[in-house]
Amino acid sequence: MTITMTSNDRPRATQKLRELLARPDAIVVAPGVYDGISARIALDMGFDTLYMTGAGTSMSRLGWADLGLATQHDMVEQAEMLANIDPTTPVIADADTGYGGPVSIARTVAKYARAGVAALHIEDQVQEKRCGHLLGKEIVSQEVFYSRIQAAVNARADLGLDILIIARTDARQSLGFDEACTRLSRAAEVGADIVFLEAMTSREEMADFVRRMGATPCLLNMVSKGVTPVISVDEAADLGFKVIIFPITGFGGAIQGIRDSFAVLKKSGCEPKALVGVEEAFELCGLIQCIELDRKAGGKALAGLR
């Protein structure tokens, strides 16, 4: 169940993210969520920001690997559901390449903002993109990348939106670290609020990246068993990153948990004894809230549930 808020309520999440970014010597930690259950768990555990992973969205909605198969419609619909579970919690969302040229990118920014997303990232892969930690990525020219970021920034201004624009480059793999930094420095000049260098290969590169970007907030992507060396939240903060996302943690844990449960069922013919029960699952996903909403409105349909 998605309970939407009015347009006047929408800026709260974006403003909250801006406030989190403004904290000195602090870092925004966003676990990757890909469906309603993973988002509910992250909120229940007290995370103050969520990250809508494109890979997780592609796999959970389509059942296919992250190879650019999820459309703008798929992503916006998923983002709206996630952002409206708790409209006060910022959602940072993957927007891939923006789904087309400048006109399409402007439309993407408008749709994400009106869905309640606090920040989105747009990258410099070709339209036939793939996960940032897979090999063989193809990159557009600097001019096309800057045009994408400019289109996003212009759309935000023209429509009076407050959504944060994150510029992501995947150029490290094929064009090198220096080129990747050059692209993001220029993207910040164009108007990007945060910069995101995908698939750095060493801690030294991480530190150098933050140094080169100066006052522009930097985002670090921690992908389990990916190209980038794994570091902790505290280490990332010490290096000067302002945002760290963990896109794999949620669906990686879910895949393992589902495999384990199904293995027990397959072998024994019974469910695992330690499973979360149906009532506990419903309570996680808003049962008590729904009962209270019904009661306050004078409804009686849910009165007998508890």
Q: What is the pLDDT of residues 164-179, one digit of tens each?
A: 999 999 999 999 999 9
Name the residue among 11, 10, 50, 27 with its Cα closest to residue 249.
50
Q: What is the mean pLDDT of residues 28-34?
A: 98
Give the pLDDT confidence of 215-229 residue by residue, as tens digits.
999 999 999 888 999
Q: How is residue 270 written in tokens?
A: 């019974």
Q: What is the CATH number of domain 13-255?
A: 3.20.20.60
| DSSP one-letter code for 206 | H
Of the pLDDT bands very low, low, confident and very high (cuts 50, 70, 90), residue 3 is very low
Mean pLDDT for 275-290 is 91
Task: Indicate if the pLDDT at residue 131 is higher than 90.
Answer: no
> Is-contact 57 81, C-beta < 8 A?
no
Judged against a pLDDT cut of 60, whether residue 275 lies above it is answered with yes
pLDDT of residue 70: 94
Percent of the chain residues topping a pLDDT of 70? 93
**Confidence at residue 205, expressed as pLDDT on a 0 to 100 scale:** 98
Distance CA 138, CA 20 (A): 34
Confidence (pLDDT) at 135: 59
Let me know: does 254 contact 246? Beta carbons within 8 Å.
Answer: no
According to the model, what pLDDT value does residue 130 have? 55
Q: Which residues contact 260 (CB under 8 A, 6 or more apart)?
A: 272
Q: Which pLDDT tens digit goes with each residue over 64-92?
A: 998 889 999 999 999 999 999 999 999 99
Give me the residue spans of the domains in the chain: 13-255, 276-305
- Would the CA dihedral through 266, 272, 275, 279 be positive or negative? positive
Buried b (16+ CB within 10 A) or exposed e, 253-271: ebeeeeeeeeebeeeeeee
Mean pLDDT of 285-296: 89
**What rounded mean pLDDT belongs to the chain?**
92
Give per-residue pLDDT as tens, 245-256.
Answer: 999 999 999 999
Q: Please write the tens of the pLDDT for every residue from 15-26.
A: 999 999 999 989
